[in-house]
Structure formats: C-alpha cells, structure tokens
Amino acid sequence: MLSEFARDQDRVHPRHTILGMSDVHLVRLHGGLVDTTKSANTNSELNYRVSILPNEHELQIELVIQRSAEVAELCLELGSWVPGDYSFMPFARDLWGLNATDCSSGVSLKIVRTGWQSFVITGGSGSVCVSYRAYAYSLELAETCGIVDSDYAILMGTRYLRPTGWHGYCTVTYELPPTWSFHHPSGAEHVADSTWRYPDYLTLLDTPVVMGHLNIVSRMVRGTKIYVVCVDRTLGYEDGIERFADALARVAGQYNLMFGKFPFEDYTFVLSFSPNFDWGLEHLSSALCGLGTDLFIDSGKFAFAVRVCAHELFHAWNVRRLKPTPLKQIDLTNGSYTEGLWVSEGFTRYYEFVTCVRAGLYTVEQFVSAVVNYLTHLRAVPAFKRIDVLDSSRATFLNHNKYAGRCNNSIDYYDKGMLIAFDIDAALRLDTVSDSLDRAFADFYRRYVDSVKGFTTDDVICFLEDRLPGLGALVAREVKGTYQIGLEQSLRRLGFEIGYRKRNYVGLLFNNAVSSRIYNVLDDSPAGRSGIAPDDQMTRIDGYPFSGQGLSWVTSRAQRITLEVLRGQRILTFILEPEIRIEIDSVTWRGSEAQAERLRSWLGQSSFRPSYGLVMPLDFYENFHGVEVLR
C-alpha cells in the first residue's frame, strides 16, 4: 500500500538549502494578490517562532520570509477554512500589532490589512521579518485554530500568516512556559529541541501540537503507538482513563486489521472533557475530540465518546488520505467543494458504529435500531424526497450547521451515506462467497489513495460494479436518486421482518427534545401549510398553557389543534389538523441459524443468538448532529 505517509517520509528529509523567492511574481488582480508561479517556491522555507503567553491567552508570532530580490508587494494571508470543518471562519480578526521590517537593514515596511483574511507589505529589498500578536482564546474557533489556556495550549498553523500561494516547507520553533511539557504528533521532522519542520503549510495546519500540564496515556497497537493526550480531567478520570485507552486500542486494532497497516508513524487523540468544547475534527495523524464531562461515570456516554474517537480515527484513512476529487487540491481561500462526502463522512459514520459494535461497546440490537432510526429520521424530512446525497455534499459549506428551513432543502450526507454503506456491505455479504465492505473499501483505498485527482462518484460505482455485478447500479440509484434507500430489503434478506404503523403528526421539528420553541417546520405538512414558523414560541395549546407532553398528546390524535405562539412581539394563533404518516414500527427476527451466523461474523459478536420471533427494540438512536424530534 502506497499511502501519503510513505510520501511524507520522503518529504521529512528536506534539502537544507533555503532558496529565495526571487522567482515568485505577485501581481494585483481584481483587487487581490495572486501568486502567478505557485510551484516556484516549492523548495523555499517559512520560519516561524511562536511564543505562548498563557495568562494573556495570546501568541507572539515572528515570521521570516526569505526573499532574494525586491518585490513591490508581498501579500500574507490566512486560510478561510480548515479541511474537515467546512465553514468560513474569521481567523484574521484575532491578529493585531503587525510589524514588518526588511531583515537585513531593519527598515520598517508598510503593512496593512486588505480583504477578508490578508495583509499586504510594500517595499523592502530582501527577506522580510514580520511579527504580530494573536489572541488565541476563542472558544468557537478552538476546534479549528487551537486554544491558549492558562494551563495548556493546542496549536496548529491556522493563525500563522503565510505568503499567498505558499507551497514550501514551514519550520516552527515553539517557546513554551518553563514548566510545560510538549507533545507532537507524527508527520513532521524534529529539527532541534523545540523546532519542527513541516513538509508544507497544509501539514502544519493538519498537525495540532499540544503543550502544558498534560495527562498522557498510550497503548501500543500492532507496533504503533496510540497516544491519548488529555488537556484537562473530569469526574471519574482516574478510574476510567485506562479503560478508555483500552477501548480506543481495540478500535485501532480493528482498523489495522481491515486496512492491513496504519498509515501513520504514531497517532494522537487530543481530548478535552470541557463542556465548552463540542470538538470532533480529524487530522493527518491525530484528532481533536471534545468528549463532555460524564463519560467516565455513564456507560452510554463512554460508548458515545469512544465512537466519536472511532469516527475521527477512521478519517486517518478516509478523507485525510483517501480523498474525493477535488480535495486533493485544497483551496484554503475560496473553499473546496466535493460531491464525495457521502463516502468520506457516510462510510466513516458506518464504520464508527460497526467498529464499536465489534469492540463490544454496542449490541447488535442497538446497531439495528440505529440504522432503522437513521432511515426513519431521514424519511421524516421533505428534503429526503428532493435532494440527493451528491448535492448535499457539494453544499457542505452551506448546510453543515442547523438553520431554519434545513429540513426542506438539505439532507445529512453523513446519515444517508451510512445507510448506503450498510446496503453495500449487506449485498457483498449476501451475494458473494466471502466479500464484504471491509475488504472492498480497503482495496478501494489502496487503489485510489495515491490518485492525483482523488476519486469520483463514478469511480466508486464502477469499482463496486466490478466487485459484484449489479451493485454499482444499486449504489448509483441510492447516490444519484432521492428517497432511494434499500435498508428494509437488506434487513429482510438478512433475516428480519419489518412491521409498519400509522402515526399522526403535524410537521413540527424539535432539536433533541420537544420544547416550546419550534426548531423547524416541514413545508409539506399540516404545520407547513398553517403559517407557523421556525423559532415561534408556543404559549398555548387549545387554550391551555404549553407543555411538551401536551403537544405530543394532541398531535397523536386526529383532532384539530389550536396553537398560540409568540413571534417576536406578536401573539399569533394557528389551526393544525394532524395527518397520518407511515413509519417502521418493528423489526422481528425471522432468520435461520445461518443468517444469525452471518450477522455474528459481520458484527463480531459471538453472543448474538436471537430466538425466532425476537422483537428488536428500536429505542436506540444517537446522532452527533443532534436528534430531530417530529411531532
């Protein structure tokens, strides 16, 4: 297997000559600065010196840009987003006190802010020294920028200015408070005590460095070190962290078995238990995960936390290395838009679940309940009939966060991608002698990991069609069509009987639990036709004070409902008449011993021995993106 890591190994032994930037031409075009010779500076080097100021929660950053000739203008910029987090963020707002000097003469150069995330330096005849401060305690930017706490810091290159179009090496010298320890994930070259060289800016951006008063445990998994670096602690940590590390090691071992080897030299989970951090961001050989406060005292939250980490670890293969087109050529300024996130995220969601079942954290029954509920929740929203998973993926910069109207014009490509992965796995296991998605996806990884352009949807379809005639066509229908998911058929073929029920509803959606504030309104439902709107606050039901239980009761009946709401300063009244929808009500085991054995080997649970007629409970459903509750 030729992974990107193999190539990184070549790149971490760079030539030591620092070439100048005399051949870099920066021209002003449509008000912005554009590097017309992007490949010209590939062998140059950027040198950063980063001092951590924990009490101020700031960084003092000094940057030397090697230049051997006069350039009229030099544009420095930050990216607008970071890979894995598809949203444009105001990274440059936290930068201040910028100074630029000609390194040889010490003469000050003019530096001014220009555009959204950039600065321009004018004058100078050689190398340029730049210094500035960056405020680094923004909780909402911590996942993408890191954070400087008084006890620890997590740093990546997000706030480090670079010349526009920079493609060369980056060297960073970290200056820490004297009592702090330091942890650096693999993927860069350790040059000296506190100095590291990164093969390029994207790798710097993709390598969170952790320092401070850290709690570190580790496991050796098939010859590779897996570090668990905790920046804080929570109740039960002392009793639970070793057990947690064991669970992560089991997950890592499963992935190693699937792909044959690890694609990194070592791997680091950077964990926080602060309720302020809802993190889950994958990197090349590490991940940032915010796991909440209660995982060591609540077995359900423990399993959930392992699953968060399992998700991010799977990304070390799927999306950090195996990439859909055009994510092999990242545009940090304008965004990179791909239709392939149904694989990158959907398959990752599938494997996060499957692997945690195999690791004994969830039961087979919970897994079946999860896939059924993912389908039920997708079917509840009108967008499932309107939007295919490719469009949903292309729109990720627009739809990743919750917003009013989302249920009508966007689906979650994680959720549908997971169900597509389930159907593929079921087909391979049912219709071949010994194939599975485990084998197929590992082979797909090996075929496309080094592809220059990344893989396309048609590459996936053709690959699967070659694997099993007819499978490519099935996947094409599910991927390119709307509403088409074969989960029920897959479950029946696996040995389950599906039962359905009629259910009254009015079309109001709530985020995680029914409350007085409406989260969303299905536009093809009684509520959607009534005039009621997202964010309306319900005050009365049929003249009585609002309660969540009361709303559930009235919407379950077939009688007209009067809802009084507060919208801004207005009190409005709407009449709704519940309608009937049909949804999956039961999944019952009607399978043979051979079918039970297939599920045992698929999900790695030897104890799954269902009696004929066993009704599978459908009460388990968890979604990192929140559970949308329909009434």
The alpha helices in 260-380, defined as continuous H runs, are: 299-314, 341-344, 346-358, 364-380
- Residue 451 pairs in a beta bridge with none
**Distance (Å, rounded) from C-alpha 335 to C-alpha 36?**
19
Taking the complex as a whole, the smallest distance from the CB of residue 393 to Zn ion amounts, in Å, to: 12
Which is closer to Zn ion, CB of 58 or CB of 345? 345
Binding-site string for Zn ion from residue 286 to residue 325, where x marks contact by CB under 5 A and - marks none: ----------------------------------------
Measured from the CB of residue 185, what is the shortest distance to Zn ion in angstroms? 18
Residues in contact with Zn ion, shown as a per-residue x/- string from 104 to 143 under the rule CB under 5 A: ----------------------------------------
- Site stretch for Zn ion (CB under 5 A), options 19-27, 262-270, 341-349, 549-557: 341-349
Hey, what's the torsion of the CAs at 514, 518, 524, 529, to 10 degrees?
Answer: 120
137: tokens are: 């305690």
Spatial separation of the C-alpha atoms in residues 87 and 398, rounded to whole Å: 8
Nearer to Zn ion, 132 or 279 (CB): 279
Helix (H, G, I), strand (E, B) or coil at 188: coil
Which residue minimizes CB distance to Zn ion? 345
Q: Which of 240, 335 has the CB closer to Zn ion?
A: 335
Q: Which is nearer to Zn ion, 231 or 418 (CB)?
A: 418
How many residues lie near Zn ion (CB under 5 A)? 1
Q: Minimum Å distance from CB 414 to Zn ion?
A: 7
Q: Degrees (nearest 5) of the Cα angle 113, 116, 122?
A: 30
Q: Looking at 57-65, 67-75, 343-351, 433-441, which segment touches Zn ion (CB under 5 A)?
A: 343-351
In the complex with Zn ion, which residue's Cβ is closer, 120 or 322? Answer: 322
Helices H, strands E: what count in the chain?
19, 32
Minimum separation from the CB atom of position 341 to Zn ion (A): 9
- Nearest distance from C-beta of residue 345 to Zn ion, angstroms: 5
* Residue 396 C-beta: closest distance to Zn ion, Å: 11
Q: Which stretch binds Zn ion (CB under 5 A): 142-150, 191-199, 337-345, 506-514?
A: 337-345
Site residues for Zn ion, window 501-540 (CB under 5 A)?
none
**418-437 residues near Zn ion, rule: CB under 5 A:** none
Of 158, 201, 154, residue with least CA distance to 41: 201
- Quick one: 148 or 310, whose CB is closer to Zn ion? 310
**Rounded Cα–Cα distance for residues 52 and 133 (Å):** 10
Least distance in angstroms from the C-beta of 604 to Zn ion: 22
Q: What Cα–Cα distance (Å) separates residue 205 from each residue in 193, 269, 282, 435, 577?
A: 21, 16, 11, 38, 53
**Minimum gap (Å) between residue 569 Cβ and Zn ion:** 41
* Positions 168 through 187 that interact with Zn ion (CB under 5 A): none
d(CA 244, CA 388): 38
Pick the closest to residue 205 from 141, 146, 129 (CA basis): 146
Q: In the complex with Zn ion, which residue's Cβ is closer, 149 or 345?
A: 345
Strand duo 118-122 + 108-114: pairing: antiparallel
* Segment 456 to 475, residues that bind Zn ion, using CB under 5 A: none
Give the whole-angstrom CA distance, residue 626 versus residue 128.
Answer: 48
Nearer to Zn ion, 414 or 602 (CB): 414
Spatial strand order of the sheet with 152-155 comes to 146-148, 152-155, 209-212, 181-183
Structure tokens at 65: 């840009």
Stretch that binds Zn ion, among 6-14, 106-114, 301-309, 339-347 (CB under 5 A): 339-347
Q: How far apart are CA 445 and CA 182, in angstroms?
A: 33
Choices 344-352, 466-474, 538-546, 560-568; region in contact with Zn ion by CB under 5 A: 344-352
Tell me the β-bridge partners of 47.
Answer: 64, 171
Q: Which one of the spans 137-145, 256-264, 345-353, 363-371 is the region binding Zn ion (CB under 5 A)?
A: 345-353
Nearer to Zn ion, 345 or 478 (CB): 345
Q: What is the binding site for Zn ion (CB under 5 A)?
A: 345
